[in-house]
Amino acid sequence: IPYQPDPARYDGQMPYHRCGRSGLDLPAISLGLWQNFGGTDVFETGRAILRRAFDRGVTHFDLANNYGPPFGSAEENFGRIMAADFAAHRDELVISSKAGWDMWPGPYGGPSGSRKYVIASCDQSLKRMGLDYVDIFYSHRVDESTPLEETMGALAHLHAQGKALYVGISSYSPELTRAAAAILAEHKVPLLIHQPSYSLLNRWIEGGLLDTLADLGTGCIAFSPLAQGMLTDKYLTGVPEGARVTKGRSLKEGFLTDENMARIRTLADIAAARGQSLAQMAIAWVLRDSRVTSALIGARNVEQLDNSLDAVKRLDFAEEELSAIEAATAE
Ligand code: NDP
């Protein structure tokens, strides 16, 4: 049966936030395809997650050249799902991709910020996804060995060609963010968005980046707001089968220190008192700052997605809750 999205998907269940000083709105919660959508994952599970997300008002899907594994396979799978399920809904979607990390062999395949790599990588991503353009194309990381002018010039070129409607950067320092925005401005290209990591357990953007973004009029989409699953109840009673920690790639068992587990337990109690899951509170918490446009989550199945999206049912925090959270996460 062809996919028919829920006609009630825009009936107020998902808030949309303006991205910096632009004309573009993003859903409060966006979905990333870094993990769980690759060639080694079950295709129909990923497809069900994407459909469910769209049914619940998630209009932004985030990818990158090397999401998988293997590299490129998340974009390939997304391209299949795009063609099968979302072709009629392209203009309801904000689709992003990135280049910066390892991608193909040889001197031009990354990690890099060269014009050669960034432009070729965007073209490859468009082919894999079967798209004419992405809505946002990112420089995925700072490449200290490439002049910033060259990397930003490549983004501006993709923007001028219409292959990227908007451009963004990920994990740049406040200083380099300011410099990147200034170079893009010379090309008459606004810096739409920055994609940094941000969660209850990782608060580096509070040390200047958020202020810089507000000043520049650049939006902020916070990746890994669940700290890759640590900010859920899954590790409270051991390590469950299939959890990301067991894959040993990006989330190492070493992160589950006694210190972190003690913090997570206290946070879970605060969440319970709010009538939320810890995942829901962790998402609501990154969104408490109006400078954060969207929380960029991952999900391994539809149940997790549903649980996380229910965060929007309680986004407000009482002062006492915020101070209890501060105390629980202080060094
Ligand atoms: P999260 O912090 O949201 O972690 C997602 C993981 O948490 C899931 O895969 C699952 O892990 C677990 N989980 C999610 N929801 C629940 C729930 N309700 N209950 C219990 N467990 C849950 O984000 P990710 O680390 O996946 O990153 C999200 C996106 O951010 C990526 O897809 C990507 O688009 C972007 N990103 C960007 C980076 C960059 O450099 N720009 C770097 C990293 C991510 P499990 O499998 O253990 O169940």
89-120: b (≥16 Cβ within 10 Å) or e:
eeeeebbbbbbbbebeeeeebbebbbbebbbb
Residue 156 belongs to some domain of the structure:
yes
Which atom of ligand 1 is found nearest the CA of 36?
9
Is residue 280 within a helix (H) or strand (E), and if so which, with residue range? helix 278-287
* Confidence (pLDDT) at 331: 67
On whether residue 224 sits in a domain, the answer given is yes
pLDDT at 253: 82
**Which residues span the domain enclosing 52?**
16-232+290-316
For the record, the structure tokens of 212 come out as 């810089």
- Specify if 71 maps to a domain: yes
pLDDT of residue 312: 98
Q: Which residues of the chain register pLDDT less than 70? A: 331
Predicted ipTM of the assembly: 0.99
State residue 255's pLDDT score.
86
With a 6 Å cutoff on the Cβ, whether 227 touches ligand 1 is yes
The answer to whether position 8 is within a domain reads no
C-beta of 78 in contact with ligand 1 (< 6 A): no
CATH of the domain at 120: 3.20.20.100
- Extract the tokens encoding 125: 């991503």
Query: Cβ(282) to ligand 1 under 6 A?
Result: no
Does residue 58 form part of some domain?
yes
Domain total of the chain = 1
Q: How far apart are the CA of 31 and the centre of ligand 1, in A? A: 9
